[in-house]
Structure formats: C-alpha cells, structure tokens
Amino acid sequence: MRRRPVRRVATISMHTSPLDQPGTGDAGGMNVYIVESAKRLAQLGVEVEIFTRATARDLPPVAELAPGVLVRHLTAGPYEELDRRELPAQLCAFVSGVLRTEAMYDPGRYDLIHSHYWLSGQVGWLAKERWGVPLVHTMHTMAKVKNLLLARGDKPEPQARVIGEEQVVSVADRLVANTAAEASELMDLYCADESRVAVVNPGVNLSVFRPGSQQVARHRLGLPPDAFVLLFVGRIQPLKAPDVLLRAAARMVADDPSLRERLVVVCVGGPSGNGLARPSLLTDLAAELGISDLVRLVPPAPQAELADWYRAACVTVVPSHNESFGLVALESQACGTPVIAAAVGGLRTAVRDGVSGVLVDGHDPVEWARVLRGFVTAPWRREELSRSARGHAAAFGWQATAARLMDVYAGAVANLRKAPLAANV
C-alpha cells in the first residue's frame, strides 16, 4: 500500500513559545529544536502549526514564524509567565484551545501531533484520541533522569510529573530520543517499547554558527585581543552548573596569579527555574571568590551575536549536571571553538572526547581547573581540537534532523492505519 504523505503537523509546546529568546526563563535548547526543525520540515513540504500558551494580551492569535510555519497563541491562564509547577492547572484550558482550533476546519486537518515536554504530551494524548491521528513525543528532559543527577540545592521533580511522563510514554505512537543514551533511559526507566523509540539527533544551524575571525569577534564584543576567554552559554540555574566554571576559574588564578591579567570568564544567559530565587547568584559568587574583575555577565543573545561569542572564546565550558543533548556544545564546535563538557547525557554525543573537546567526569572545580589550565599551557592543543570540532559539528545539520523526523512521522501514520485493519481481521 502506498504511504499517505504527512501534509500538516500540529506541534504542541505548551510551556514555552518558540518565539521566546533562548537563554532565560523556560526558553532553551527545546525552543531552538522546535523552531529549526519546523523550518526544515516546511522546506520539505510539511506545514507546521505550533500551539503555545499566550503570555501577553497583545500577542496575535496566529503569527507566521517562517513560510509554512504558524504559531498559534492560546489563552490558558493569566497573560504572564507561569512557573512550570503552575502550568498543570491550565491543561484543561489549553486542551480546549487546541481542540477548538481544529474544530474550525474540515475533519482531518492534522495528520499527526508532535508534542514536546511532558505537559505538551498530556495535551497531545487527548488530541490524539479526539482526532484519530498518531502522537509523536519528544521528552527533552525526564524527571527520573533529573532526580538521579540533582545539583546541590536543587529540588527533585515531583511525583506528579513522573506519573505524567509515564502516561505519555505509554500512549505515544512514537518516542523521539535525542541520543541512543536517551533511548536507553526511556526503555530502562520508563519501560518504553523499543519498537516505538526512534533516535533523532538534533542539529545546528551551520549557516549561522560557522568559523570566523576571533579578533574581529572580540573587537565587536569589547574583549581584549590577548585574553584567555572562557565562555558559558545557557540559563543560570543549578542544573546548568555555571558555579563550577567560576570556582574553577578562581582555582586557576590561585594556582597561577599571572593568569589574572588575561583571564576573562563570560556567562551569556539569564536566570531560570530555581535560579530565579537568587538572580544575583553569579555576581555574589564572583565577589565571594574574589574574581569579580574577571567575570562578565551578558544577557541572552540572538543567534548572530551568540556566534560571535563562540568565535571570541578560547573554550566553551558546559558543566551541566544533565543534558538531553547539549546544543550549546554543538554550536560552539560549529564555530571552531572546542568544548569542555561534563560527561553526562547527550553531551557524550554532542562532544567527541579528545577529538572535538574534552569530557570531564564529575563536577569538582579542582579537576575542571586542571583541564582548563591545560588549554592555557598548551595552546597547540586548542588549535588541534578546533580543527576537529568543525568537522564533528558539520555532521549535525537540521536538514538531516528533519529528514529523519519525516521517516518517524511516516512510520507512525502507517502503523496507525494498519491497527484498525488488524483489529477487524
């Protein structure tokens, strides 16, 4: 039988909008993933409609993100950012908005639902039952994994989320994992059926994140031309562990006081999650460690500016306690800047240890300082990794991600069509 093509996908992103600036609030790698994959799917002829919660009264009901990609803002709760713990109370209102939107059109408007994060998966579950279409779900982060790798002072994810994730895993027609390691976690921790799990690596925008002159980038950003620049990019919260970088930098200066003259630590991002409780954390920590003069805090930046920060850096540091993939690491390598990252989660895939960067076990600042110090004393090592980093990142393009997603979608639709036939027989 000839496969019916997937013409239109309903993408569910309840808790964060693809239009939000990554790096603050709840906006991060997932936002980048949804935006970039939607654009590439549209280029392949698939219309994508992204359902998200309206966080301002003046947002238009429908906005065009790119040709073939619409963002639908649904009213669900107050017009403001809500903590993720408050969002389950808005599930009914959000589901109602999704179902009412589909009801305005002829039956069969959407061929498939792709939900992102567990709250969206709950919405997708109900829409799937109502519309009779397959549900593809991407976790991005998982409560059981996060609870196994908690940062100091971080709170475990609630049992309600664990149960919600288990329900989504049981009803989804396909589960998209960012890496083989994440696929194993789905099967081992959530008892996911192996036949329904597909590995699709995220990508990187290789037209934006590409090598360029370090000196030109530093001039634009106001950085000293001879500085040794350590870069952190991401949301400021315990999970991302920017404190590990600051403590390691303080140790480096203590071990070699001459470094103070040229060491610069740049953190690009804003408070998020538990980090909102203490937005001055990095400022306070830098003062406590005596390195305030070395630390530069920068608000979240659009992609073009972010690429300059990567080019300006000697090394990008990703000390997260857990990452489902680690797009920051991939973006940095695409710009030719090697990465030092924690040996956790998807970072083991995003960074090729000893080739495009270095993976560090644990979060001991002393060990991180030792590894970073090696880049100072052996600049040739950085140059060697820089060349390999570009080649490693080049293998991850969003076009490949979209093509693989198309295969997953086609399989989900084909399986759904077979199920009633098998039942009748």
Write the pLDDT tens digit of every residue in 289-329. Answer: 999 999 999 999 999 999 999 999 999 999 999 898 889 99
Its CATH class, for the domain covering 8-203+398-417, is alpha beta
Q: Where in the chain is the domain with CATH 3.40.50.2000?
A: 8-203+398-417, 214-395
Residue 144 assigned as binding residue = no
Residue 141 assigned as binding residue = yes
Residue 307 assigned as binding residue = no
406 φ/ψ angles, rounded to the nearest 5 degrees: -60, -40
Residue 31 assigned as binding residue = yes
Residue 22 assigned as binding residue = yes
Residue 117 assigned as binding residue = yes
Residue 323 assigned as binding residue = yes
Write the pLDDT tens digit of every residue in 61-90. Answer: 999 999 999 999 999 988 777 777 788 889
Residue 26 assigned as binding residue = yes
In this structure, the dihedral spanned by the alpha carbons of residues 224, 227, 233 and 239, taken in order and rounded to 10 degrees, is -140
Residue 3 assigned as binding residue = no
Q: What pLDDT is recorded for position 215? A: 97
271 φ/ψ angles, rounded to the nearest 5 degrees: -60, 145
Nearest-CA neighbor of 307 among 270, 269, 333? 333
Residue 21 assigned as binding residue = yes
Write the pLDDT tens digit of every residue in 34-58. Answer: 999 999 999 999 999 999 999 888 8
Residue 381 assigned as binding residue = no
Q: Would you call 69 helix, strand, or coil by DSSP?
A: strand
Gap between the Cα atoms of 320 and 300, Å rounded: 18
Q: Is the dihedral of CA 93, 94, 97, 103 positive or negative?
A: negative
Gap between the Cα atoms of 109 and 121, Å rounded: 19
Residue 390 assigned as binding residue = no
- Show contacts of 1-4: CB within 8 Å, 24+ apart: 1/417, 3/410, 3/413, 3/414, 4/111, 4/413, 4/417
- Sole residue written with tokens 């408007």: 109
Residue 84 assigned as binding residue = yes
CA of residue 244 relative to chain centroid, distance: 20
Q: What pLDDT is recorded for position 82? A: 75
Residue 235 assigned as binding residue = yes
pTM for this structure?
0.89
Gap between the Cα atoms of 200 and 14, Å rounded: 22
Gap between the Cα atoms of 203 and 194, Å rounded: 23
273: its two tokens: 């999650």
Residue 238 assigned as binding residue = no
Residue 399 assigned as binding residue = no
In SS3 terms, 362-378 reads as: CCCHHHHHHHHHHHHHC
Residue 43 assigned as binding residue = no
Q: What pLDDT is recorded for position 277? A: 62
**Which parts of the chain sit beneath pLDDT 50?**
1-2, 420-425
DSSP for 219-275, written as a single string:
HHHT--TT-EEEEEES-BSGGG-HHHHHHHHHHHHHH-GGGGGTEEEEEE--B-GGG
- HSE-up of residue 351 (Cα within 13 Å, Cβ side): 30
Contact predicate 12/116, CB 8 Å? yes
Residue 154 assigned as binding residue = no
Its CATH class, for the domain covering 214-395, is alpha beta
Gap between the Cα atoms of 212 and 224, Å rounded: 17
